[in-house]
Structure 1
Amino acid sequence: MTVIDRKESMIFFVDGPGGTGKTFLYRTILATLRKAGHIAIATATSGIAKTLLPSGRTTHSRFKISLAPDASSTCSISKQLDLAELIRRATIIIWDETPMVNRCALESLDRIFRDIMEVNLPFGGKVLILGGDFRQVLLVIPKGTKAEMIDACIVKSPLWKDVKVLHLKQNMRSINDEEFAEYIQHIGEGNEPYIMDDLIKLPPSMAMQWEGQNSIYNLIDQVFPSLQEHANDARYMVDRALLTPINDDVEQLNAKIISQFPGDEFTLHSFDEVEEDTQHLYQQEFLNSISPGGLPPHILRLKKGAQIMLLRNTDPKAGLCNGIRLICRGCFNNVIDAEILTGQYVGTRVFLPSIPLKTTENVYLPFVMIRRQFPIRLSFALAINKVQDQTIPIVGIYLPDYVFSHGQLYVAFSRGVSQSTTKLLV
C-alpha cells in the first residue's frame, strides 16, 4: 500500500503454504483499492482459483497469453485496444497461482506491458502482486526431464531478481490443530524425517490399515457417513471428498460411491469420432474405450444429488470453470440441471449441455478424437492435482501406490483442517 501511495513500481511475490490466507489477502487488497476508486485487475492461472477473486479472470484470458508460450512469445494485445487502456489505468495487477505457469508466460506479459506503457522497467513500471505456493505440484512438462521442469519455473526467469518476496506463515485453515499444520509444513518443505527409501511415517490417528477390498468401503464410510440420508445436501457434499493420485483410481472410487448412492440412475453415452476420418479407420468400440485425462467418460452414470466436476471453462463469467464442483439436481436427454457448490457463485443453478470435446496433443494419440458428451465427471473422488486452491474439511486420501512427489502428498494433506478429519488408506 505504501508503494501505491508513493506511486512507485514494484513486483511482489506472496509466498504462503496452503491455508495461510493468500486469497483472503488478495480480496482485502482488492476491496480496499476499489473502494478508494483505483482500478485493480484480479487474475489467476487456474479457473478454480479465479472464481475465488471478485471480478477475477484467468490470466491467459485477460491478457491474451499463449497457451504454449516459448522464449519469443508475446501477448496478442494491440496498443489501440480498450484492454491496453485498462492496463495503463490499472493501479495494481494480481496474479494468483503463478508457480503453475511456464516462466515464458511471465516474460511474455513483461514484454507487452513494457510496450503498452512505453516504460523500460519490469512490467512497464506496474505494481504487480504474484502469489502461490512452491511446495505444491509445479508446472508439468509432458515427458520432460527434471532439469527442463526446473528451467521452466518462474524463479529461473531473469525477472525474478526484481521480485520482493513476502511470506505468510500462520496456517489459518488448521489453526485449531497446530501439530497437523506443522506436520504439513515439514512435508511441503521436504523436512519430514525419512524412515527408508524416501518414505515418511504417517501419524497413527490418520492412517487406516489395509484389510483387503473392504478397507476401501471403510474409507468411503469414514468420509461419507450416512450417505443415504444426505443425498441432496449441498453442504454435506462440498465439505468432503476422496483424493488419490491417478485418474483410474478416481474412476473406481466414484463407481463404488455412485452404486451406493440412492435414487434412479441416469446412463449417458458419448458419441465418439475421429477428426477427418474419411476412411473410418477406427471402430466405435475402440474410440469408446479411450478415456484420456481431461475428457469425460464414454459412459457417464449420474443420480440426482450426485456430486460432479466441470471439465471445461464453459462460461467463466458465470463461474463455470474447469475444476468447479457442482451437485446434480436433474438429468435430461440434452441438458443437466446443476447447482454450483464452490466459489463466489455458490448456490447458482445452471444448465450444462453436451458439447464436442477434442483430445489435446499431450494425450499422444495418432489422431484427434472428438467426443460429444456432457463436460463433467463424478467428483466424490478427485485427482490430487485437481484440488489445489480448495479447502475440503473432511478428506480421505487413498494411496494404493506411492505419490509422485512430496509436493503431491503436501497438496493432499493441506486440503484438510485437522488430523481427526483427515484419513489415509495406503
Structure 2
Amino acid sequence: MLAHLRKMGKIIIAVATSEIAATLLQGERTAHSRLHIPLRPTASTLCKIKKQTDLAELIRRASAIVWDEAPMANRYAFESVSKSFQDIMENQIAFGGKTMGFGGDFRQVLPVVKRGSKAEQIVASISRSTFWHRLKIIHLQQNMRSAQDIEFSQFLLRIGDGLQQTVSHDFIKLSDSIIIPWEGEQSIQMLIDSVFPNMINHVNDENYMVNRAIITPKYVDVDNINQMLILKFPGVEKEYTSWDSVEDDNHNLFQEEFLNSLSPSGLPPHKIILKVGSPIMLLRNVVPELGLCNGARLICRGLGRNFIDAEIITGPYKCTRFFLHRMPLKSEDNSGLPFELTRRQFLIRLSFALTINKAQGQTIPNIAIFLRNHVFSQGQLYVALSRRVSQHSTKFLVKDGNLQHRSGVLTRNVVFKDVLLPTRE
C-alpha cells in the first residue's frame, strides 16, 4: 500500500507503535519518535511539534499517515496527535482532516496500564477514543505467516477470539502433538540448543542472530536466559557496570550496593556482560533518524572500555555501525521507588531472549517460548503462539504433565510451574 501510494507521488508518513514493527516500514520510525508524542500522554497533552518546524510542514503536505500496531498504544496518544494535527492544520476536524490508516490486531497485546484493572485497560484502548466512530474497519482475511498450515491458522484464530476449547477455570487445553515431557532443569538447555544450535560456528553472523529468539513474559526470565546464553557464547567476556546515584542524597543515605541491586522498569541492568558477536537491543531512542530507536536489534562488533561498537541487524539501516556510550537515565515516577534513581549505563540489553511484548509485530523463523508461570493475558498467549509459522515446529515442555494453560488474567491459581515451548530446526 505504501509503495503504491508513493509511486503515485503522494507523501505518506509511516510509523508504528513498536520499533520491531517499524523495521518493516520504509524509513522506519516509531510513532513516539516521528510525531513527538509525550512519553505518558493524558487527555490534555499535545505532541511537541511547533508549527514553524519542518515536521509540521511535512504533516501539512502528507496525503496520509499510516500507523501500524495501533491497538498497542494508549488512546491518549492518538488524541494528542489528533489535537496537534488540528493545531497545525488550523481546523477542528479529527486529525486535522488528514487520512489516517491504523493497522493492528485486537487479539494481541493491548495498551499496558501498570497495575490497572481490566476496565482500565479497556478504557485505554483506541476503541474508546473520541474519533473511533469515524473509522471504517476493514478486516484482513488471510494469515500470511501460517498460509501453509491452515489448521494452525484456525487454531490461532480460536485462541485470539476466545473460542478455543477450555476446561475448568477457563484454561486452554493444548494439543498433545505439541507437548513433550518435562525432564528436569536440563530441559532449559534443550530449549536453548533447539533455538541456537551450533552457536560456536555462527559468531558475528547477523542473519543467524536476527532469525532466532526465546520469548517470555517477564524481564526477570529474559535476564536469566540471556545470562545462560552469554556464558555459552564463545569469546572473551567484557563486563560493564553502571554508576548509580540519588539526587540530593547529600548524606549518602542509600548505599551504592543497594542502588546497584535495583532493577526499575525502563532502566538497563546494573551489570551487562557482553562478548563480540553477541546480539543486543536498545532500550530507548538514541538517534531515531538513523535507526537507533527503542527496540532496535544490533550485534556487538567491538567492546572498548567506555564504548561499544555495534551494528544494526534489522530494517533499512541494516549494516550501519555506531559507537554506543553510557548515558544517564532516571527512573519513572511510577517505578515504585521513594526516590528518583539516576543510572548511567549503556541503554541496552542482551537480546538472545525477548519479552513477548517486544516480539509483537515480527516473524521469527526459529523461536521458543518460555513460560515459568502462565501469561498475563490471552493476548500475550496469542502473540507468543503467532510468532511461528506452523504448529509442527512448536513444542510445549510441561513440568507436571499438565496440558492446560490459562486464557484470562493472571491469578494465584497457577496450574503448573514451568512450561517451555522449544522449536526444532
Both proteins in one fold, TM over 0.5: yes
Q: Does 1:68 align with 2:40?
A: yes
Alignment of 1:372-411 (within 5 A): 372-411=344-383
Is the 1:40–1:91 contact (alpha carbons within 8 Å) kept by the matching residues of 2? yes
Residue in 1 aligned with 2:107?
135
| Corresponding pairs, count | 398
Distance between the aligned counterparts of 1:338 and 1:205, measured in 2? 41
Is the 2:159–2:382 contact (alpha carbons within 8 Å) kept by the matching residues of 1? yes
Distance between the aligned counterparts of 1:384 and 1:57, measured in 2? 21
Cα displacement (A) at 1:256: 1.4
Distance between the aligned counterparts of 1:387 and 1:287, measured in 2? 30
Identity of aligned residues (%): 57
Residue in 2 aligned with 1:33?
5
Distance between the aligned counterparts of 1:137 and 1:125, measured in 2? 29
Cα displacement (A) at 1:80: 4.0
Residue in 1 aligned with 2:292?
320
Is the 1:398–1:424 contact (alpha carbons within 8 Å) kept by the matching residues of 2? no
Is the 1:103–1:154 contact (alpha carbons within 8 Å) kept by the matching residues of 2? yes
Distance between the aligned counterparts of 1:65 and 1:327, measured in 2? 29
Cα displacement (A) at 1:78: 4.1
Residue in 1 aligned with 2:234?
262
Residue in 2 aligned with 1:152?
124
For structure 2, the residue ranges without an aligned partner over 5 or more in a row are 398-418, 420-425
Alignment of 1:54-133 (within 5 A): 54-133=26-105
Residue in 2 aligned with 1:228?
200
Question: What secondary structure, in the 3-state scheme, does the structure 2 residue paired with 1:41 have?
Answer: strand
Distance between the aligned counterparts of 2:379 and 2:120, measured in 1? 17
The AA in structure 1 aligned to 2:129 is: S
Distance between the aligned counterparts of 1:349 and 1:205, measured in 2? 44
Is the 1:41–1:56 contact (alpha carbons within 8 Å) kept by the matching residues of 2? no
Question: What secondary structure, in the 3-state scheme, does the structure 2 residue paired with 1:113 have?
Answer: helix
Inter-CA distance 112–373: structure 2 relative to 1 (3 Å threshold): closer
Distance between the aligned counterparts of 1:304 and 1:112, measured in 2? 44
Is the 2:27–2:316 contact (alpha carbons within 8 Å) kept by the matching residues of 1? no
Cα displacement (A) at 1:139: 0.6
Distance between the aligned counterparts of 1:45 and 1:39, measured in 2? 20
Alignment of 1:197-276 (within 5 A): 197-276=169-248
Residue in 1 aligned with 2:134?
162
The AA in structure 1 aligned to 2:249 is: D
Larger CA deviation: 342-351 vs 357-366: 342-351
Is the 2:360–2:383 contact (alpha carbons within 8 Å) kept by the matching residues of 1? yes
Cα displacement (A) at 1:153: 0.9
Residue in 1 aligned with 2:406?
none
Inter-CA distance 112–315: structure 2 relative to 1 (3 Å threshold): closer
Is the 1:272–1:372 contact (alpha carbons within 8 Å) kept by the matching residues of 2? yes
Is the 1:184–1:413 contact (alpha carbons within 8 Å) kept by the matching residues of 2? yes
Aligned counterpart in structure 2 of residue 289 of structure 1, from 261, 264, 281:
261
Is the 1:394–1:422 contact (alpha carbons within 8 Å) kept by the matching residues of 2? no
Task: Kindly provide the CA deviation profile for residues 206-248 of structure 1, in whole angstroms up to 9, marking residues without a partner as x.
Answer: 3332221111111111111122222332211111111111111
Distance between the aligned counterparts of 2:319 and 2:394, measured in 1? 26
Cα displacement (A) at 1:170: 0.8
Question: What secondary structure, in the 3-state scheme, does the structure 2 residue paired with 1:241 have?
Answer: strand
Cα displacement (A) at 1:47: 2.8
Distance between the aligned counterparts of 2:310 and 2:253, measured in 1? 37
The AA in structure 1 aligned to 2:147 is: I
Q: Does 1:361 align with 2:327?
A: no
Distance between the aligned counterparts of 1:420 and 1:257, measured in 2? 25
Is the 1:43–1:96 contact (alpha carbons within 8 Å) kept by the matching residues of 2? yes
TM-score, normalization: structure 1?
Answer: 0.89
Distance between the aligned counterparts of 1:57 and 1:257, measured in 2? 30
For structure 1, the residue ranges without an aligned partner over 5 or more in a row are 1-28
Distance between the aligned counterparts of 1:265 and 1:78, measured in 2? 46
Aligned counterpart in structure 2 of residue 330 of structure 1, from 289, 298, 302:
302
Question: What secondary structure, in the 3-state scheme, does the structure 2 residue paired with 1:132 have?
Answer: coil
TM-score, normalization: structure 2?
Answer: 0.89
Runs (4+) of structure 1 exceeding 4 A deviation are: none
Residue in 1 aligned with 2:154?
182
Is the 2:356–2:384 contact (alpha carbons within 8 Å) kept by the matching residues of 1? yes
Cα displacement (A) at 1:143: 1.8
Distance between the aligned counterparts of 1:121 and 1:376, measured in 2? 41
Inter-CA distance 344–207: structure 2 relative to 1 (3 Å threshold): farther
The AA in structure 2 aligned to 1:177 is: D
Distance between the aligned counterparts of 1:252 and 1:199, measured in 2? 27
Is the 1:44–1:59 contact (alpha carbons within 8 Å) kept by the matching residues of 2? yes
The AA in structure 2 aligned to 1:242 is: I
The AA in structure 1 aligned to 2:179 is: A
Cα displacement (A) at 1:341: 1.9
Q: Does 1:194 align with 2:188?
A: no
The AA in structure 1 aligned to 2:294 is: N
Is the 1:358–1:369 contact (alpha carbons within 8 Å) kept by the matching residues of 2? yes
Larger CA deviation: 83-92 vs 315-324: 83-92
Distance between the aligned counterparts of 2:382 and 2:388, measured in 1? 11
Distance between the aligned counterparts of 1:88 and 1:213, measured in 2? 58
Distance between the aligned counterparts of 2:139 and 2:348, measured in 1? 37
Is the 2:28–2:291 contact (alpha carbons within 8 Å) kept by the matching residues of 1? no
Larger CA deviation: 284-293 vs 34-43: 34-43
Question: Alignment RMSD, CA only?
Answer: 1.8
